Amino acid sequence: MALQPRGSWHMPPGMKPPREPMFNLPTPVLVLAGIMIAIQAAQSYFLSLDQREFLLLTFAFLPARFGAAAELFSFPGGVLGDIWTFVTYAFLHGGWGHVLMNVVWMMIFATVIVRRIGTFNFALFFIITAAAGALVHLIIHFGSQSPLVGVSAVLSGAMAASARFAFSSGMGFAGLQGLNRYPCQSLSALRRNRQAMGFIGIWLVLNLVFGVFAILGGGASIAWEAHLGGFIAGLLVFPYLDPYSRTPRKPKPPRQDPPKKRPDHLKVIK
C-alpha cells in the first residue's frame, strides 16, 4: 500500500523567517579581520606620519631591537616591547592590498583551524606561529632596520596544520569543508601521503619563488623567512593543540588504602 503524504509544514502567518548571518565565519576570525582592517584604516586616513612611525616602532617586529642599534636608540616599550613585537607585528600590514589579501586567506585557512581546535587553542596557535616566523626572520636578518609586518606567518602555519588532517581521509581539499574529525597524521604517514606532500611541495616552491624575486628585486617586501618559520611551527605544534589527535589518557589505578591496624586491646594474647 502506497503511503499518502500527510501535508507539508507552512510557516504560520506573521512569523518572521530566521535570519542568516552575513558572514558564516567563526567569531575569532571576524574579530581578527576587523582589528587588522581598523589598524590599516587608522594608518591610511587618521594617523600622521610621526604617529605611523611610532606605531611601527612600538608594534612591528624590528630585528634592530636586538642589534647594535639597541645600544644607541631607545625603542618604545623597552624589554617588554622586545617580547610583544614577536606577536603584535602580525596585526600590522604594509598597505590595503597586503591586509585584504591576508584577510581573504585567513577566512579560508584560519576558519578551518578555529572550528577544529576552538578559540583558546587557536589563540595559542596564533602566538606560537607568529613568534616562530619572527624568530626565523630575526636569525636571517639580525640587526636589520626593516620592520616585519603581516599575519602571513600565522596563515602559513594554518596551511601546514590543515595538511596534517585534511588529506588523511583521501578527500583532498574537500576535507577542509565542514568539521573534519579525522586525527592528524604522523609525520611519517604525512611523508607517504601524496596529496599532502604535493600540497606542501607547492607551498614550498611558491615561497621559494617569492623569496628569489624579493632577493633579486633588492628588497624584502615578501618575508619568506617568516612564512617558513610559521609553516614549520604550525606543522609541528598543531597536533598538541588538536583535540581530535590527543591520545586518550590511561585510567588511574584504583587507590588502595593501607591496611588498618587493629587496636591493641583486640589483639589475641597467646
Q: Cell 609553516: give the residue.
A: 231
Higher pLDDT, 143 or 233: 233
Q: Which amino acid is residue 228, in one-letter code?
A: L
Q: What Cα–Cα distance (Å) separates residue 31 from each residue in 28, 76, 88, 197, 232?
A: 5, 26, 15, 32, 25
Residue 208 confidence class, pLDDT cut points 50, 70, 90: confident
List, for residues 102-155, the tens digit of each pLDDT value: 999 999 889 999 999 999 999 999 999 999 999 999 999 888 888 999 999 999
Report the C-alpha gap between 136 and 142 in whole angstroms. Answer: 10
CA 9 to chain centre: 44
Per-residue confidence (pLDDT) for residue 67, from 0 to 100: 79
103, three cell numbers? 584577510
Judge whether 23 and 37 are in contact, CB under 8 Å.
Answer: no
* Residue that wins the pLDDT comparison between 47 and 256: 47
243 vs 89, 104, 126, 261, CA distance in Å? 28, 26, 17, 46
Q: Is the dihedral of CA 122, 127, 130, 132 positive or negative?
A: negative
CA pair distance 213, 205, nearest whole angstrom: 12
CB 156 within 8 A of CB 133: yes
SS3 76: coil
Contacting residues for 132 by C-beta, under 8 A, at least 6 apart: 153, 157, 229, 230, 232, 233
- Per residue in 30-47, pLDDT (tens digit) is 999 999 999 999 999 999
Q: Distance between CA 76 and CA 82 in Å, rounded?
A: 9
Residue 248 or residue 138, greater confidence: 138
| pLDDT at 139 (0 to 100) | 93
C-alpha cell at 72: 644607541
Comparison of pLDDT for 208 and 136, the residue scoring more:
136
Mapped onto helix, strand or coil, the DSSP state of residue 18 is coil
Percent of the chain with pLDDT over 70: 73
